[in-house]
A and B are shown apart, each in its own frame.
Chain A
Amino acid sequence: MTLLPNIIFGLILLSGIGFFVKNINKLRRNIKLGKSINIEEGSSKQRWANMARIALGQSKMVRRPISGILHIIVYVGFIVLNIEVLEIVIDGLFGTHRIFSSIGSLYGVLIGIFEVFALLVFVAVVVFWLRRNVLRIKRFMSSEMKGWPKLDGNLILYFELVLMALFIIMNATDTQFQSMNSGNIVSGVVAPWFEGLPIHAIERAAWWLHIVGILIFLNYLYYSKHLHILLAFPNTYYGRLAPNGQMDNLDSVTNEVKLMMDPDADPYALADEPADEPGKFGASDVFDLNRIQLLNAYTCTECGRCTSECPANQTGKKLSPRKIMMDTRDRLQEVGQIIDVNKGTFKADGKQLLGDYISNEELWACTSCNACVEACPISINPLSIILDMRRYLVMEQSAAPIELNTMMTNIENNGAPWPYNQMDRLNWNNE
């Protein structure tokens, strides 16, 4: 017996995983370009519970029953079939064949379950494909879904189809497994199709392609919206626990406002203080966002549930909360590539998230209604990015729409958004 296949297998596995780890490290590095953030609200117990309920338990997926149930099939299938991958890895490394079959009749039951799931996943994925390409469900047809996002969505589906098919073929052409006649619920039906063909070679080919396919898919994640299968877990953990309506108070502003309003503050003493870099208010690029917002961007699966609930989008405005997330990720990837090219340092490229990706028009169309936040099945908050960019527009650039400037001047002068005198606040009772 030659060890060559084992060595080749080991090398493929190692490079597959190695490349993946390299990309994950890049991802971590990119997320860390954002500002660190204290998560004060809630206990870690609450956060684990949220992760268990929302990511593991898919609780928000079923709000849309059809896609929700299909998604759960694919998700459970994915997890269950990973047990099979473990067997393949052991077999590959040690030159065994179906090492788990030694557990006896339970093995047949297990493989039976895997095969049923493989079939279910296959069917679900076909339906997903039809929804995207034939039924052309509206939320997959928006302008931000043209080009790569559309191809990406379909590629994932093709990957899954091929992997499921290879799994069944691998079982169907495994004469030893078929002769056990236990657990070959689906492959037993398929097996006769291969009669008269070089069955052993097909089995080996399917086996190798299956595992290589999985490794390729694993490495595809980093370039794809499919990252959500991993990041949904940390993302739901870090999901906000405060009420949706609560927007953070900027500490940097609090300090300045307190000084401004404190009659005892000595402006001269202040000027002597080492000018603590006041920092910039709000966000114009990914560096100004916090790490959770950047994690959000990588986690977004481009499902468009947010956008389809967005009142601005529904009434034809340019704003799409999904696009906000996609733009943030695209810009972050671009920045990451610049850092790669320049061996670890970022060189300004004359571009930024605001303007080059997200326009003022989009930002000003938001009603802060939280529909997107509520709709997202994996606790992404597009609104917080919108608000941070508005902050930049207003506080750094004074670039609010004119009517909003009038509103703010009124508040400043009379304590109301309209030009009424604060002294008249009780006049309603005299009318």
Chain B
Amino acid sequence: MSEQLKVPTMAELHAQGIVPEVLFWVGCAGSFDDRAKKITKALVKILHKANVKFAVLGAEESCTGDPAKRAGNEFLFQMQAITNIEVLNGYAVNKIVTACPHCFNTLKNEYPSLGGSYEVVHHTQFLKSLLEEKRLTIEGGKFKGKRITFHDPCYLGRANNIYEAPRDLISKLDGELVEMKNCRKKGLCCGAGGAQMFKDAEAGDKEINIERTEQAIEVKPEIIAAGCPFCNTMMTDGVKNKAEGQIEVMDVAELIANAQDL
């Protein structure tokens, strides 16, 4: 993939006196992780398709501080938060969309008391509202009739009680949405949260992502849909281990973009 998408930055728009409808917070995974970059691009394509005036911070974006905070480093978290809030407030940002539930949770819940209050939505919520406003249509395309199971990201589901937006989007693909035995409030973690992504697991008898992948395999999906770049990585690794080549792990945004060959 080498086509260049039009991705305006806040700085550029600001210079032209344009205020975008929404800021797309790309996040560290979305910026640097090879797998997650594809999710970022898929979302950008959908935003263009729906004619959403958006912008990114680009080099002015910095880690929200989520992994530092969950690791216990409140200093580093707050330094990151205050730096980011300065940038966001400098552009008078109102609304933020992000494809990472960790960024979402942090921006939405932990920034306000440090001086950063914004309307923050997860991309599945945002896409759902575009759908409702008839700015976006979703077709099943190649996913028609496919068995899809949705893995609830902890930081979207239990952490913020968002269970339906991603499912509503998936159901529009005319696939068959199948639920794992642990879903929604009882969804099993992929193993990446709380800064675990960045370290080896403690001694045990199994990796958490393998356990979760096995739960997914039980319902025989063709696709495991995810809504978090970290879950995506963990589930992709799990599938490599357990069902290489038989199951695809895709973000909800990728499903929508790919269905219409964006």
Q: What mask results when residues 309 to 324 of chain A are scored 1 for a CB within 8 Å of chain B, else 0? A: 1011011111100000
Query: Chain A: how many interface residues by the 8 Å CB criterion?
Result: 69
Knowing A316-B206, A416-B31, the reply to whether A257 touches B78 (Cβ < 8 A) is yes
- Is B159 within 8 A of A394, CB to CB? no
- Is A428 within 8 A of B40, CB to CB? yes
- Is B204 within 8 A of A315, CB to CB? yes
Name A425's contact: one of B59, B71, B110 (CB within 8 Å).
Answer: B59
B73 CB within 8 Å of chain A:
yes
Name B198's contact: one of A244, A390, A407 (CB within 8 Å).
Answer: A407
B125 CB within 8 Å of chain A:
no
Q: State in angstroms the CA–CA spacing of A319 and B2 once bound together.
A: 46
- Is B1 within 8 A of A367, CB to CB? no
- Is A370 within 8 A of B71, CB to CB? no
Name B202's contact: one of A247, A282, A312, A411 (CB within 8 Å).
Answer: A312
Residues of B82-131 at the interface with A, using a CB-CB cut-off of 8 Å, are 82-83, 105, 108-110, 113-114
- Is B68 within 8 A of A408, CB to CB? yes
Residues of A393-431 at the interface with B, using a CB-CB cut-off of 8 Å, are 393-395, 400-401, 403-404, 406-408, 411-412, 415-418, 420, 422-431
* Residues on the B chain within 8 Å of A394, using CB: 71-73
Number of A-B residue pairs, CB cutoff 8 Å, is: 224
Q: State in angstroms the CA–CA spacing of A315 and B211 once bound together.
A: 7
- Is A415 within 8 A of B63, CB to CB? yes
Q: What mask results when residues 181 to 193 of chain B are scored 1 for a CB within 8 Å of chain A, else 0? A: 0000110110111
- Is B80 within 8 A of A244, CB to CB? no
B37 CB within 8 Å of chain A:
yes
Knowing A371-B189, A404-B195, A431-B1, the reply to whether A257 touches B79 (Cβ < 8 A) is yes
* Residues on the B chain within 8 Å of A373, using CB: 158
Q: Can you report 23 residue pairs joining A to B where beta carbons are below 8 Å apart? A: A243-B105, A245-B154, A246-B105, A247-B70, A249-B74, A249-B81, A249-B114, A317-B201, A319-B202, A365-B201, A368-B194, A369-B193, A370-B158, A371-B188, A393-B72, A404-B195, A407-B198, A408-B73, A422-B62, A424-B32, A429-B41, A430-B4, A431-B1
Extra A-B contacts (5), CB below 8 Å, given A425-B31, A431-B1: A245-B158, A250-B78, A371-B188, A374-B186, A391-B72
